[in-house]
Structure 1
């Protein structure tokens, strides 16, 4: 069987990428035809996963949130065009804190669910080290509003976890339920998905979380920061199993086919409503690919993986299933520190490939594994060399930090001295006052603690003049469950003084897409 014959290829990919474990499930023509579990859910104790092992599925959560909105639309509780200003008090009127005026004037539900706002990601306002959530859930709308536009409104898909975080909170307000309860009621219970949830990974058959180091070994880190009840749960808090997801996606494709045939917006045997609308193009990605509502939409032969880690590291994504008959493909990836996931659906043949992993690898192992399995099913005339692709993308991932480290060394000015360290101490806030960094003396340097969390802090050494820095090393970042950060501005903090010589602010590139960085203003001493 071609699927089973693919496993040695996937095992070789795992050895290249530092993957801890994988759980795999395949549907074809609406029937489960393959399950496989590789590696370990618990590396230290050599415990293998099974098809009921719970993994974080990260951004696969987004389709679930979109499906919950489809039910609300079907029930007449809102429309896809309902304006955010009618749902979010912070967007009732335009203020200086809102960088995108359209949030107040015209942005709607689809703009959130299709990533059409055009705002920078701002992920480091949510979490940085040690899987600690830094932002308070009540600040989601203000943080989203404060993010800088990097593309024209509605011009293309610009991925936004903050947008889905806000969408999840809107769901909670309308349903008068927590997001976990809302999705359980609307989706999980009707499908008997008993092992799917948005809470903590506290089940005895849950996968531990790992980060792959440069030598392709997994390093244990705390479990994902995405948990219901905290900021951005709607973007990635779901945890599930291959067995539960096989049920979900089979039902989803069945509902889509039935609704297309009947012209109805619902199906008697599935909780998925308005499936065609979820799979309608709303935002351009490439010439051949677009984003729907929680899903990437394209055709085979064509590229996949465009919302996964591989899309950043590959010179270009391969064409999947070259030489095969044209057909629809709907997919998504998920990535968090400590887990990667992928699902590919071929609705025309009711085929699904699901791969869940419990490590953030040197490249996106579940994505490459999914593509290997797709080609095993479709038998293209020119199959891709996914082992070589894994080698190249892993090497690319490992190539980013050293140039930044070299630049840090080369740009350092010798012979300068800092001010007295106590002059830098204090609490520094962003412009809108809902995110701060505590600066304190740490030996001969400084310590910077986001939102006061010492466990998530950075140890800064004097760089030159009023600039402090810390080393750029991928393995060191991975061991602290920090998403790889190689922008040079992230590794340097530049303090600035007023005319009297008093330190009053500093600049830090907290968002890699904003090259000029962000200014944080000194307002108070850190709390002891």
Structure 2
């Protein structure tokens, strides 16, 4: 296995990861843990297997497990409509969602409700809305495409809609917040002392990997810590922190519970309903010649190898979109395996958890600073290939290099160039003469969301909802501004990795007959229609 670390160091350098921590469970036993690089470059502090990283969407596996505990206790039912637990849940654009959508629909992303991370969290995905406030937004989200309902017809990944499960947990358990329920009913009982949900515990932790991004000159810049308050609408699906040792322990408990549920023997495991949670519900269309099954469960993706879908949820999407990954599919001449997994990513962090129930195998990889592609995905594949001796051996390092190159040119091709067309040759340093007239609050009452236009000197900026972070606005053409930065480095510094459709950065201001600014139109998601935000009248 020592030679594997050479490949991992190659991946770390290619992707720009500051540190990598990984662990391997095989036949139910931990056979290796290793950390490379720094958790904190400024203080030259090394990472180790107890270093906590933000785990992003791996949080969804804990959310589903929390629901499973309450289902087993008879306090929840998988197929009972969410509305029975959250009476105010009633999406207005498709009444069937309110009538029939249940916990399975919520957790496997089958509601068809629009992805609204940018609308709710802003370009840096700093979610400030509470769970309760989020319900109003969710109720008003678009739910159709071309006039046809998407409910149970589309797989539409949606972080904040998943968080309705945590509201349900709070309602039926009587706990004040999901973070308390998780700690008391799962983390403490499993001994996961290094898995944290509470803001105060995370912020004071002394063994934390810091978030970084690698810039064009090869240097790393520090990013804002993505720590969410306990009442954040996205905490349950994006906001947990954990370590390699804890994630290996969680994986072992998960595999043990799943296996015991499949036998005739009763289990005293804290984890319940794992057979249901890790079952595939929403089938994903194949994109390779092997045509193996792949489906999304509840906080887990279930993939049968060989399949290109091992990378479905990873940030390594450039090689997927181009098809360059197809010659690098693992296990093409090996026995098929069911891999139950998930990836996680928030600005500055990248992680993956892969489990193989048939061999009681789990692989955990966590990184910070991975910018040019997702290092954890590549390293996870390298370790999976090595541990399970998949054949033929595939050169993942060379595929990672292709992704890194495409990643570095993506911003110019998909943001800078089309924005240049929007500007029609306009000098980006110019501003309109009446820029002060744009200043104010702009609100969409339907969603209950506000954007704030501010002016400091000659610089006009925008902030989103309760998030005070400012994003400079650049003039594209008269009365049309973009909050997308002009360089990839600034895009990285601003933690805008999930703001990738330049059209969603355009604010089209509109004027009344007397030439005053009355609002703007904003296409906050590339697949949805524009929304109107009215300028609020200030009364004295």
TM value normalised by structure 2: 0.90
* 1:375-417 Cα deviation digits (max 9, x unpaired): 0112233222211211111222222221332232333247898
Deviation at 1:235, TM superposition (A): 0.6
Deviation at 1:348, TM superposition (A): 0.4
2:290 aligns with none
1:344-493 pair list within 5 angstroms: 344-403=354-413, 404-413=415-424, 418=432, 420-451=434-465, 453-454=467-468, 456-470=469-483, 471-493=485-507
1:124-139 pair list within 5 angstroms: 124-128=118-122, 132-139=126-133
Instruction: Tell me the secondary structure at the aligned position of residue 507 of structure 2.
Output: strand
Instruction: Tell me the secondary structure at the aligned position of residue 232 of structure 2.
Output: coil
* 1:199-233 Cα deviation digits (max 9, x unpaired): 23221111111123234543211211434322211
1:5 aligns with 3
Deviation at 1:472, TM superposition (A): 3.3
2:535 aligns with 522
Among 89, 104, 112, the alignment partner of 1:110 is: 104
Q: Quick one: structure 1 residues 255 and 453, their matched pair in 2 at CA, closer, same or farther if it must change by over 3 Å?
A: closer
Q: Quick one: structure 1 residues 73 and 259, their matched pair in 2 at CA, closer, same or farther if it must change by over 3 Å?
A: same
Among 13, 16, 25, the alignment partner of 2:14 is: 16
Give the unaligned 5+ runs of structure 2.
287-292
CA distance in 2, matches of 1:292, 1:196: 23
Instruction: Tell me the secondary structure at the aligned position of residue 322 of structure 1.
Output: coil
More displaced 10-residue stretch of structure 1: 134-143 or 288-297:
134-143
1:133-212 pair list within 5 angstroms: 133-149=127-143, 152-177=150-175, 178-200=177-199, 201=202, 202-212=204-214
Residue 61 (structure 1) aligned with residue 59 (structure 2):
yes
Q: Quick one: structure 1 residues 363 and 37, their matched pair in 2 at CA, closer, same or farther if it must change by over 3 Å?
A: same
Deviation at 1:324, TM superposition (A): 1.2
Deviation at 1:419, TM superposition (A): 6.1
2:314 aligns with 308
Deviation at 1:259, TM superposition (A): 1.4
| Paired residues of 2:442 and 2:452 also in contact (CA < 8 A) | yes
Deviation at 1:166, TM superposition (A): 1.7
CA distance in 2, matches of 1:58, 1:235: 7
* 1:271-317 Cα deviation digits (max 9, x unpaired): 11121111222111224210111110121222312112124553344
Deviation at 1:526, TM superposition (A): 11
CA distance in 2, matches of 1:388, 1:149: 41
2:249 aligns with 247
| Paired residues of 1:336 and 1:360 also in contact (CA < 8 A) | no
| Paired residues of 1:467 and 1:494 also in contact (CA < 8 A) | yes
Deviation at 1:174, TM superposition (A): 1.5
Residue 502 (structure 1) aligned with residue 500 (structure 2):
no
Deviation at 1:322, TM superposition (A): 2.2
* 1:85-117 Cα deviation digits (max 9, x unpaired): 1122322x56xxx33323322111111111111
| Paired residues of 2:22 and 2:35 also in contact (CA < 8 A) | yes
1:334 aligns with 344
| Paired residues of 2:117 and 2:125 also in contact (CA < 8 A) | no
Residue 233 (structure 1) aligned with residue 231 (structure 2):
no
Deviation at 1:343, TM superposition (A): 0.5
Q: What is the RMSD computed on CA atoms of the aligned residues?
A: 2.4
TM value normalised by structure 1: 0.91
| Paired residues of 1:15 and 1:216 also in contact (CA < 8 A) | no
More displaced 10-residue stretch of structure 1: 340-349 or 323-332:
323-332
| Paired residues of 2:93 and 2:144 also in contact (CA < 8 A) | no
| Paired residues of 1:298 and 1:329 also in contact (CA < 8 A) | yes
Deviation at 1:363, TM superposition (A): 0.9
More displaced 10-residue stretch of structure 1: 432-441 or 48-57:
432-441
Residue 121 (structure 1) aligned with residue 125 (structure 2):
no
Instruction: Tell me the secondary structure at the aligned position of residue 89 of structure 1.
Output: coil
Q: Quick one: structure 1 residues 113 and 491, their matched pair in 2 at CA, closer, same or farther if it must change by over 3 Å?
A: closer
CA distance in 2, matches of 1:433, 1:254: 43
